[in-house]
Every structure is written in C-alpha cells, then in structure tokens.
Structure 1
Amino acid sequence: MLDRELADAAHRRRLAPEERRKKIVEAAERVFAERGFTGTSMDEVARLAGVTKPVLYDHFESKAALFFAAAEGARDELLARGKAAALAGDLEARFRAGIEAFFLFVEERPTGARLLFVVPKSDPVAAEAAAIVQRQARETIAARFSPLLRGRKPWQKDLAALHFQKGLHALAEWWLDNPTIPRRDLVDAAFSLSWHGFGPRE
C-alpha cells in the first residue's frame, strides 16, 4: 500500500504543470457533467484528477474558475470541429456539415457536451462565466453563417443564431437520453428543422 502511495506521489511530481492542469480540467468536465455545478465538489475533482486539494487551488482559485476553464475547453473543441466542417461544399453543404460536426462531438464527447448544457444558477460568477461561453459561441455561429443571413437586421441575425444554438442543445440533450436513434437520422431532422430558418430567402 505504501509502495503504491509513493509511486503515485512520484508520478504526480513528474507531471508538468500544463499536464496536471489538463488532468484537472478533464476531471472537472466529468464531474460537472454528471453532477451539475452545485453537486460538484472540489474534493471530488481533486481526487479524480489525482492531485491534492491545495494543488487544485494552485491552478484554479475557485470552483467557478474551474467551471469556466472546463466549459471554454469544450466549447473551443466544438467550434474547431465546426470550423473544419465549414470548409466543404456550398452554403447548404457547409450548414449540414456543421450540424454533423456538432452531433459527432456529442457522440464522441458526451461529458463535454453535457458540460455545455450546465447552467450554474446557484453561483453568480459561474453563471456569468457560462453566459460568456455561450455568447461567444453564438457570435461565432452568427459570423460563420453570415452569408445565409444577408439582408437580415442585426437582431434577426442574433435571434437566428440563438434559435440554432438552443435548438441543437435541446436535441443533443434529448439524444443523450435516447441514444438508440442513429446520428445520421438526427442530423437529417436537425438540418430539416434549421435550414428553413437559416436558408436563403427566395
């Protein structure tokens, strides 16, 4: 038992700060996704990450800061996938590819997806952090699909991006609870529902 503890301690010492931070964020993503913001404890995150609580606080000054880092990481990965998908074909093809990339992310990274759906209402700082993450994602969506929104007023563009974002989130939450539905079928349905709002006007 003591040998194992010493080996674990040596392993923790060998980790570079950026590697340790990554492990902490990965652990936080899992716990926040499973338990929500209120149900997550820093003790549990530290234990899952294999670090002590003081080490955890060396990297993140609060649970809200840790939540922000985890949510930013999941969002940035999702947006990167969407950016790559937006390079293929015409506007309609790129729009569909973006939806495909979103649901592939949900399928491959369910904890990352669930984390993005967490609304930490119990903590004003964390709630603001979540709002920032979602707002920045929405601005990216609006910019990426701006060719489809020519002629629309600014508030109409914001509304379209909000509708698209929240609609996909709702479908993803439903799919995570109904995983027997094939991803392609869900993409077809989401595309059909969304394209009418985003598609070019006659």
Structure 2
Amino acid sequence: MQQERPRRSNRERSQETREKLIEAARRLFVEKTYAETGTPEIVRAAGLTRGALYHHFEDKQALFRAVAEQEAADVAAEIELHGTTEDPLEALIEGGDAFLEAMGRSGRTRLLLLDGPAVLGRAAMDEIYDRHGNRTLRDGLAEATQAGTIRQVPLEPLTSLLAAAFDRAALAIEAGADADAYRLGLSALIRGLAAGEGKNVS
C-alpha cells in the first residue's frame, strides 16, 4: 500500500513559491540582466502565475532585492562555513579568501556589486551588506581587536574600507585579473593591521 505523503502547510507552499520566483529571477537576471528581464519571463520560468509573483513581491525591483538579499546571505554563510583557525588575524585572512571564492559563483559579482547599486541604490545595498557579509567582517575585526591581535582602529570605518577592498578585488578577478595576486594583496593589507608597539591609531 502506497504511503500517503504528509500535506504541506500553507506556509510551506508559500515559501516554496517564493523560492521558485527568486531562483527563476536570479537565473534570468544573470542570463539577460535585470533591465532586459520582464516579469512575464520570470513567472514562466518559475512555472507560476503573475498573481503569484505579485502576491509575494510588489514589483520586479522588490524581487531583485530578494535575490540580492539571498545572494548576500549565501556569501556570509560560505564565509562562516570556511572558518577553521582560532587565530583572529588568520581568521580574517581566511574570511577574505572565502569571500572571493563565494563571489566566484556565476553572476554573483555583477548582481551584488554592479546591478545591485544600480537597481536598488547604494544605501539599500549597504543595508543588505551590513546584515550579511559586512556583519561577518565586522565581527571578525571586533574579535581580533578585543584579542589584541590587531591595532585599535575605529570599527565601522575599518569595516567599510576593508569591505570596499574585498569588493574591488572581486570585480577585478571577475574581469580576468590574477586571483592569487589579489589574495596576496588582501592578506598583506590585513596583516598590516597587526598589533605592535606604537601601532595604535587614535
């Protein structure tokens, strides 16, 4: 006798619909760009209706925001997954390497670093980054500072400046630059923060 599958709740069905829309939108935004992708294509690719799309998202821009949020969350998760060292300074370097590896997923650099600011605005993307990748960087810097591993530098500006360096490296690598050279450069940048006598910044 065939066992009957448990019935999914409305919440589970709603979440599955949302995930399908985000997945289809991401694929099309990467293949065709945001500007060249229409909502009819997205719902067709997801196997859903326009009504389903507008039940979950106000418009295409809101759907793009959900895609960007998911991409940023995935990057942060991959950074946290790759942490293997107890040394706070080395953890920052590992985190930088993990960030560049995570940004290597097809289309991710363009979605987050080029299309994101163009579609949503710089301030909105900064909010997304602060919830995800910048949060992991800020936490790592705070831990290294508290451990006395790196010099005392105001945390928010330091996070912003290092995040910009990581983003620039991701864009350069996406454009064909030597990834190992950028990893070495970022490692040297982080090691330059190492605490030592007379190195505190007021």
TM-score under structure 2 length normalisation: 0.73
Please state how far the C-alpha of 1:168 moved relative to its aligned partner.
1.0
Does the CA-based 8 Å contact 1:36-1:118 persist in structure 2?
no
Q: Which amino acid aligns with 1:134?
A: Y
| Aligned residue number for residue 142 of structure 2 | 146
Does the CA-based 8 Å contact 1:119-1:130 persist in structure 2?
no
- Comparing both structures, which one devotes a greater share of its residues to helix? 1
Flag the 1:146–1:121 CA change in 2: closer, same or farther, 3 A: closer
Q: Distance in 2 between matches of 1:121 and 1:81?
A: 22
Q: Write the deviation string for residues 42-89 of structure 1: whole angstroms up to 9, x where unpaired.
A: 233223323232222122122232122111111111111222333423
Flag the 1:40–1:170 CA change in 2: closer, same or farther, 3 A: farther
Please state how far the C-alpha of 1:164 moved relative to its aligned partner.
1.2
Flag the 1:152–1:39 CA change in 2: closer, same or farther, 3 A: farther
| Aligned residue number for residue 58 of structure 2 | 61
Q: Write the deviation string for residues 5-31 of structure 1: whole angstroms up to 9, x where unpaired.
A: xxxxxxxxxx94333321211222233
SS of 2:152 mapped into structure 1: coil
Flag the 1:30–1:191 CA change in 2: closer, same or farther, 3 A: farther
| Aligned residue number for residue 93 of structure 1 | 90
Does the CA-based 8 Å contact 1:38-1:122 persist in structure 2?
no
Stretches of structure 1 that go unaligned for 5 or more consecutive residues are 1-14
How many percent identity over aligned positions?
A: 23
Flag the 1:82–1:43 CA change in 2: closer, same or farther, 3 A: same
TM-score under structure 1 length normalisation: 0.73
Please state how far the C-alpha of 1:159 moved relative to its aligned partner.
1.3
Q: Distance in 2 between matches of 1:114 and 1:122?
A: 11
Runs of 4+ in structure 1 deviating by more than 6 angstroms, as ranges, are none
SS of 2:86 mapped into structure 1: coil
Q: Write the deviation string for residues 74-109 of structure 1: whole angstroms up to 9, x where unpaired.
A: 1111111222333423123211210121122122x2
Alpha-carbon RMSD: 2.8
Does the CA-based 8 Å contact 1:74-1:113 persist in structure 2?
no
Number of residue-to-residue matches in the alignment? 180
| Aligned residue number for residue 47 of structure 1 | 44
Question: Residues 67-86 of structure 1: matches in 2 within 5 Å?
Answer: 67-86=64-83
Question: Residues 106-125 of structure 1: matches in 2 within 5 Å?
Answer: 106-107=103-104, 109-118=105-114
Q: Distance in 1 between matches of 2:137 and 2:75?
A: 11
SS of 1:118 mapped into structure 2: helix
